[in-house]
Amino acid sequence: MSRKMALINYWKKDKIITTKNILNAFRKVDRKNFIPEYLHDYAYDDAPLHIGEGQTISQPTTVAIMTQALSPRKGEKVLEVGAGSGYQAAILSECVGKEGRVFSVEFLKGLFLFARKNLKNYSNVTVLLGDGSKGCPEGAPFDKIIVTAAAPKIPEPLVYQLRIGGVMVIPVGDFIQTMIKLKKTRKGVVKSDLGEFRFVPLKGEHGF
């Protein structure tokens, strides 16, 4: 059994991922395609890896937990804040299917170029260079928003750009962050705590 399938089977056994659509996305997307070549032997270590610009690709289980919490569905429009190397966007692409759309905004030009190259075959993904902490007004409103870097607090522009009934998953905090799942309702937002994690800091106007 490959290390990739061993990791996916661990997620299934421990019920980290219970959604068939999400499991299939992780089967289809090869993490090797989203990390520097010299790290390919470590692609399915359950650990973060450096991707340049002082940034990391999250460990696979963290990506799995965030994706499960977000629960992206076929046909949905999703915003990702922090493209990184493009791995999370590729997973989201498979989850929303050809009828869905993924907008991924990256603050750092080097990573923007890296992610755009890695995602060139994903026709339903648009990679943008800019301040993702301010969202993506041209694509709003979104069914789902995922933030892959730690924010000091939940950015108001992202809440504004989330559709009523939509869900956001975002790590909030400084050294150790709390992963927050937020659902937007007509009466306000409902938050739940998904536990403690470690992320690089969010850059931009509403970041650190």
Radius of gyration of the chain from Cα atoms? 16
Domain boundaries, the chain: 3-197
pLDDT in tens, the chain (208 residues): 799 999 999 999 999 999 999 999 999 999 999 999 999 999 999 999 999 999 999 999 999 999 999 999 999 999 999 999 999 999 999 999 999 999 999 999 999 999 999 999 999 999 999 999 999 999 999 999 999 999 999 999 999 999 999 999 999 999 889 999 999 999 999 999 999 999 999 999 999 9
Tell me the CATH architecture of domain 3-197.
3-Layer(aba) Sandwich (3.40)
**CB-side neighbour CA atoms (13 Å) of 153:** 3
Q: How far apart are CA 31 and CA 27, in angstroms?
A: 10
pLDDT for the residue numbered 148: 97
pLDDT for the residue numbered 149: 96
pLDDT for the residue numbered 175: 84
The amino acid at 66: M
pLDDT for the residue numbered 173: 96
Chain centroid to CA 119: 14
Residue of 58, 93, 104, 133 with catalytic role: 58
pTM score over 0.75? yes
pLDDT for the residue numbered 1: 74
Look-up of token digits 């629960």: 71
pLDDT for the residue numbered 157: 98
Element (H, E) at 145: strand 142-147
pLDDT for the residue numbered 44: 95
Residue 171, token pair as written in the block: 């790590």
Is 58 an active-site residue? yes
Residue 114, C-beta contacts closer than 8 angstroms, at least 6 positions apart:
51, 52, 85, 86
